[in-house]
Amino acid sequence: MNKTGDQYTLNVPETGKKRIVVIGGGFGGLSFLKKLRSKAFQVVLLDRYNYHTFQPLLYQVATAGLEPDSIAGPLRKIIRNRKDWHFRMLRVNRIDIEKNKVFTTAGVLAYDYLIIATGSKINYFGNDSIAINAYPVKQVTHALDLRHTLFQQFEGLEILDRNSGVQENFNFVVVGAGPTGVEICGALAELKKHVLPKDYPELDISRMHIFLVEGLSKVLPTMSDSSGKKAKKYLEQAGVKVILNCMTDSFDGKTVHLNNGEKIVTNTLIWAAGVKPNLPEGIPGDFMEKDSLRVNVFNQLYNKDNTKIIDNVFAIGDIAFMKTEKYENGLPGLAPVAIQQGKHLATNMKRMLHGKAFNSFKYVNRGVMATIGRNRAVADLPCKINLSGTVGWMLWMMVHLLYLIEFRNKILVFINWFWNYVTYDRGIRLIIRPSPKSKDRISREMFKAMRNDE
């Protein structure tokens, strides 16, 4: 780092090329980098993690179906062997679009073009008790915390008296009936049916209860009514208790309080109820709408009065609010949107190099889907085609394998899925780092003991 005044300049070489700074190595940022492949720019990728996470499969890491390295890949591998492309692992604190600078935890970096692809973060809707005590499923660390807690609790139950009344260890509450919540419930139901009875034969696994709480009137609110009804049916057949039209008021680590007056004792509340844009500081409010960055059809920032366009700053993915005739409330917060925007922006940057005008972005909806376990999934495809059951499940698997970051990930996931399907087993049930979030006494003692052994 070179010190300049009271600030530090981030250690990136000056080469005389136009510098593109990409903030975020998620679906949008990654698809942009993979498509660009140009030696004409200096490219700098900034992210607080040194890996990309395939978030749609995090729930399988959380429920012992996959290891983290199956759904994650190092960001440096994406940019290596590309001359004058750089990665810096750090957090972006602020952006100054007037001075064309990014302020990070390690220093300041000037840019010629800025691509904001910071994605989304967990939305607790201002509920502090849930933020402190619930288990989110947004990052690899979250998934591992949940996985370790799950198996810690059953190990603890083996130690206790068989007649002990610790029902909170057997109860699991999932809040949010979107794809993530539905898929977690399906995975927990499969653990209950196929894995836990074999691992813990002395426990009465029938005492395990899974609750799905949703504030709206149907399961999978963003999908068709047909898919929502099918998913609810599949969940109930798997033994999940679905509670609709009900909000979660609070969770103190022992009891979930619902706004219908019902209480559920549990140590484990899994929060899948929503996300919000992960907005960097420094962007003037005039360029925002619904806590997102207003972008035109070229993904460039523009203000509410349509009087100013920041033509060298772009936003893609969940952070971008692009209003179209079909999507008046903005494009959906889905991985395919971010991927398509990233690829389209890379193509436009190449067009700019050759003196050509930008093309407008048009989102192509290729469908939305969710799985509820073995041979059970729902899919809403274009032209109002709805699939469910085994056909929907096979399509879900193929699509997710296709979108995984590397060939190695595809092979690892396929092998794990094949093994799990044939053996009705989950081979990844290690408690490597017990979760300090665990609320029951036995798990806390296990955690302290393992820490003391280090």
> Catalytic amino acids?
183
Name the token pair of 196: 């836990």
Is residue 162 within 8 A of residue 202, CB to CB? The reply is yes
In sequence order, the β-bridge partners of residue 46 are 23, 88
Angle ∠(378,381,384) on CA atoms, nearest 5: 105
Name the token pair of 60: 């399988």
Residue 134: which of 266, 244, 29 has the closest Cα?
A: 266
Dist CA 181 CA 172 (whole Å): 12
Q: Which amino acid is at 151?
A: F
Q: Half-sphere exposure (CA, 13 Å, Cβ side) for 82? A: 22
- Give every CB contact of residue 327 below 8 A, 6+ residues apart in sequence: 363
- Give every CB contact of residue 209 below 8 A, 6+ residues apart in sequence: 170, 171, 172, 241
Task: Calculate the alpha carbon distances from 31 to 35, 75, 125, 212, 409 in Å.
Answer: 6, 12, 30, 34, 16
The number of residues making up the chain comes to: 454
Q: Coil, strand, or helix at residue 18?
A: strand
Phi, psi of 332 (to 5 degrees): -65, 150
Any idea which residue has 């290891």 for tokens? 67
Name the token pair of 426: 């989950």
Strands 268-271, 275-277: pairing kind: unpaired
Q: How is 304-346 classified by DSSP, letter by letter?
A: TTS--EEEEEEE-GGGEE---SS-TT-----HHHHHHHHHHHH
The burial of 288, by beta-carbon neighbours within 10 Å (0-12 exposed, 13-18 middle, 19 or more buried), is given as middle
Q: Find the helix or strand (DSSP H, E) in which 378 lies.
A: strand 377-381
Taking residue 39's Cβ as centre, other Cβ atoms within 10 Å add up to 11
